[in-house]
Structure 1
Amino acid sequence: MTATHLDANRARALGQELVAIHHWLRTELTRIRADVSAYAAGSDLRPTQLRAHCTAFCAALTRHHTCEDTAGFPALAGQFPELAPILAELRADHQLVADILRRLTELLDSIGPDNSATVRRELDGLAAILESHFQWEERRLVQAFDELEMGTRTGEELLGAEVRRGRVRSSRD
């Protein structure tokens, strides 16, 4: 196989890596929401456990969006300039999500029985926004990522995480 053919195979998988990363982020957010609900219902979960899980999730989501904004989207814009308006809207979504993550982090710093319902509502809002964002991004960008000429860039550099053997990991985890 030539290097060009290998690059083409890597690029075709990049769109699926995006989908896998989004799936993993959805799953983690679902787990956090369930944990907060269980905590509010009196489970043995401690606030420090909730904060740790949420902090790890927030860091992974932030890294994903940061890498898209600084590497993935510029690479797409360079090869597919017609995507510029879509990429700008996705970047605006990323800022909205970052604002929610800041509020959520502040709420989790003092999570207790008295504000767990507020935390849950914030998580529910985040889940709704992310679902809409992920679906739209996947509809609009998977094909472009599949056709992207990656050169020496890796999926992790472009998307903020790496998919290996069906598992998602971030070097910042």
Structure 2
Amino acid sequence: MSPPPPPYGRLRALGHHLVEIHLWLREELDRIRDSLDADGPGVRPRDLRAHCLAFCATLTRHHTGEDRGAFRMLAERVPELRPVLRELEADHRLVEAALRRVEDLLDGTHPIEKVRNELDTLAALLETHFLYEEKKLTAALDALEDGRTEDLLGVPLPPQDW
């Protein structure tokens, strides 16, 4: 989500960017879950697989960016966060496993309820992960003065209509 144009816009801190990215990812997952019934109960929309795979790729890129970018920088500059960062990296592995389960269910041979249940599980896992990450890291990320959002958080800010 890009900031509004001047004179209203100003640079936002990286922690704020993290929250914006998480909000966008939540919205995208909600859209996917809502699309399960877009063509009527039990009918999988033709583009569900494409949307899910794009979401999975974006989320994976975000978590990989955090692990390789922001988390490494924070571990160096704020060593007391290292236990939290290890927990968050472990969460990333749990999310990765959940994403693989979702992808495996998108081959068209599974009942829509099974897909819905796995997406609901993923949504619950992400919600707790995002909230914990935001609570523990936002202030520390805001204090960082160098690095681009894409380099440190894995993805650029999502577009937003102003």
Instruction: Determine the structure 2 residue equivalent to 1:13.
Output: 13
Give the Cα separation in 2 of the matches to 1:40 and 1:160. 35
Which of 144, 153, 157 is 1:163 aligned to? 157
Amino acid at match of 2:112: S
Counterparts of residues 35-50 of structure 1 (less than 5 Å): 35-39=35-39, 41=41, 45-46=45-46, 49-50=47-48
Q: Percent identity?
A: 53
**Equivalent residues, number:** 152
Q: TM (normalized to structure 2)?
A: 0.86
Alpha-carbon distance in structure 2 between the residues aligned to 1:154 and 1:137: 19
Query: Counterpart of 2:49 in structure 1: which amino acid?
Result: R
Contact 2:102/2:118 (8 A) holds in 1: yes
Aligned to 2:31: 31
Q: Structure 1: how far apart are the matches of 2:36 and 2:61?
A: 23
Q: Distance in 2 between matches of 1:43 and 1:108?
A: 13
Q: CA deviation at 1:149?
A: 3.5
Residues 1:105 and 2:99 are matched in the alignment:
no
Give the distance between the partners of 1:107 and 1:43, measured in 2 at CA: 14
Contact 2:37 2:44 in 1 (8 A): no
Higher helix fraction (1 or 2): 1
Shift of 1:37: 3.4
Instruction: Find the residue that maps to 2:45 and give its secondary structure.
Output: coil
TM-score, reference length from structure 1:
0.81
How many Å separate the matches in 2 of 1:165 and 1:104? 26
Q: Residue deviations 1:89-125, cap 9 Å, x none?
A: 00000000000101110101225xx511000000000
**In the alignment, which of 130, 133, 148 is matched to residue 154 of structure 1?**
148
Which sections of structure 2, spanning at least 5 residues, go unmatched? 1-9
Give, as a single letter, the amino acid of the residue that structure 2 aligns with 1:16: H
Q: Distance in 2 between matches of 1:15 and 1:166?
A: 18
The correspondence for 2:57, drawn from 59, 63, 69, is 59
Deviation at 1:82, TM superposition (A): 0.3
| 1:93–1:133 contact (8 Å) kept in structure 2 | yes
RMSD of aligned Cα (Å): 1.9
1:163 CA drift (Å) = 2.0
Question: What SS is found at the alignment partner of 1:162?
Answer: coil
Determine the structure 2 residue equivalent to 1:145.
Answer: 141
